[in-house]
Structure 1
């Protein structure tokens, strides 16, 4: 008989794989941006939102906040690095007000997550409280991450082209959500469940 923990771990590994595909799905977009040295009409919103989401979930998965969440930390740490590369490319290839906006968003996110980490680790004295505070933030920013690509819908409607909304990103999001929901339901984790449901 296979234990629930083994099944959960296997699903978590699959979830990490699908999340990695999700994080890497914009690579063709960023190759194009880099070659043209222009962000064209691409929106930084999905990448900035995903970066914030990854930072919060890395914090959530730390042993001081939510023990036994190594799979959450590894994939979100990987996603954090990948999204930081994307945001850096946006900074390098955008101009003027657009560049300042992305830079300010990035600085605000880093300051916010740093403040949350300091406050939670110093003021919340139990794993349950820390998990609850960071978990609720994870749910809120997860909603933001999944809603951010909707900002591209205006461009899709105006141009009548899905060029700026890759199918691979949409499919990877769906598969990733299914895997992480299953992972969270096996050994019930309210915050991961709500975040992907």
Structure 2
């Protein structure tokens, strides 16, 4: 009876996690449209998209090992979207040297990951090795906004942060934490619990330092 309850909950949470994550990945499109309109990347960095590509692609490998279709679908979609974003950024970037270096590093890293997966005959051992690597990559992805949080605290303004994105990260983190718990997969649950904490801190900053409308001075 207990197994049936867990299966039902997992079956319900899985598609919610998948849909929420894919929608979260889609938030990169506004930046792409901006780049296309300006025909320049300006001050926007390609690195977050390359880092997310490495993260998603690594989780595709992990998902194939544990035979989890949700991880496969979500992270394959994320990998495709990040690749599209990177392509647009690359086309409109005036300085491609740094991007080339980042792409090369990402390619070599993923090549090593997938070579290790496919040459290994010990699936259980591979999961125990790849799991912590994927967890660390997810933690780094969640930790990326910490620099923005430091700026908010120093300036006492949340104008540099995206409230809807912060809330979305919080919701997705809770969903994946619950999904990892139901699966009994601590490699999935662990980094997402940390992500929930970071996202909650981000959202709380909007309450502590609310954006105030600009004051219009009389002419």
Tell me how far 1:175 sits from its aligned partner. 1.1
Say which SS state the counterpart of residue 95 (structure 1) adopts.
Answer: coil
Question: Could you list the runs of 5+ residues in structure 2 that have no partner in the other structure?
Answer: 194-219
Aligned to 1:17: 19
Aligned to 2:141: 145
Aligned to 1:43: 45
Which of these residues, 114, 118, 121, is aligned with residue 115 of structure 2? 118
Q: Give per-residue Cα distances to partners, 1:56-81, cap 9 Å, x unaligned.
A: 0000001xx212x1000000000001
Does structure 1 residue 190 correspond to structure 2 residue 192?
A: no
Residue 178 and residue 77 in structure 1: after superposition, are their counterparts in 2 closer, same or farther (change >3 A)?
Answer: same
Aligned to 1:29: 31
Question: Could you list the runs of 5+ residues in structure 1 that have no partner in the other structure?
Answer: none
Aligned to 2:124: 128
8 Å CA contact 2:49–2:82 kept in 1: the answer is yes
The whole-number CA distance in structure 1 between the counterparts of 2:32 and 2:52 is 15
Aligned to 1:77: 76
Say which SS state the counterpart of residue 51 (structure 2) adopts.
Answer: helix
The whole-number CA distance in structure 1 between the counterparts of 2:47 and 2:133 is 18
Please give the root-mean-square deviation of Cα atoms over the aligned residues, in Å: 2.2
Does structure 1 residue 181 correspond to structure 2 residue 174?
A: no
The whole-number CA distance in structure 1 between the counterparts of 2:91 and 2:162 is 22
Tell me how far 1:91 sits from its aligned partner. 0.8
Q: Which protein is bigger by CA-based radius of gyration?
A: 2
TM-score by length of 2: 0.78
The whole-number CA distance in structure 2 between the counterparts of 1:100 and 1:168 is 33
Tell me how far 1:153 sits from its aligned partner. 5.7
Tell me how far 1:155 sits from its aligned partner. 7.6
8 Å CA contact 1:139–1:194 kept in 2: the answer is yes
- Larger RCO, structure (CA 8 Å, separation 6 or more): 1
* Deviation >3 Å, runs of 4+: 149-158, 160-163
- State how many pairs are aligned: 189
Q: How does 1:163-182 map to 2 (within 5 A)?
A: 165-182=161-178
Aligned to 2:5: 3
The whole-number CA distance in structure 1 between the counterparts of 2:49 and 2:167 is 17
8 Å CA contact 1:121–1:130 kept in 2: the answer is no
TM-score by length of 1: 0.86
